[in-house]
Amino acid sequence: MHRLPFTLPDVGLREVKGFVSLEGEFLIIDLETAVAGIMDKEETTIKVAPSALHEAWLKTGMVRDKLFLAPKKVDLLKAVPGDHTREVALRIPRKHRLDTEDFVDELNRRIETVEG
């Protein structure tokens, strides 16, 4: 499965970017945060079991698309930098749209398999 590059909406002076992928049975979110893109860089990896997600969907746009992840609990919302009320929105460049569509289909298949 593909590693999809993403950015997060503004988090103050901190820039947040990274990759999202499916590895084994987990959704992996690799984050890199930095002040103004260059100072105080921090790297974090978040592993999410499909059973922790309610659903995932893609909203397409002219320049970039958004991959939405809706967790069942607020833990994921707290782990990802930014202000997330009900879901996490990852901005993905439009050129990755086909891979993102495949990613969302596979992730939702895994979520449905767990929910059974």
**49-75 pLDDT tens trace:** 999 999 999 999 998 999 999 999 888
Taken in order of first residue, the domains within the chain and their CATH numbers are 4-115 (2.30.29.30)
**Hey, what's the torsion of the CAs at 4, 90, 50, 87, to 10 degrees?**
-170
Q: What is the pLDDT of residue 23?
A: 94
Measured CA to CA, the distance from residue 68 to residue 32 in angstroms comes to 19
Percent of the chain with pLDDT over 90: 59
Per-residue pLDDT band at 79 (split at 50, 70, 90): confident
Token pair 């930098």 in the structure block, residue:
81
The share of the chain scoring above pLDDT 70, in percent, equals: 91
Strand 88-93: give its sheet, edge to edge.
39-48, 26-35, 14-23, 4-7, 88-93, 64-71, 53-59
Q: How far apart are CA 35 and CA 89, in angstroms?
A: 20
At residue 30 the predicted structure's pLDDT band, cuts being 50, 70 and 90, is very high
Phi, then psi, of 96 in degrees rounded to 5: -100, 15
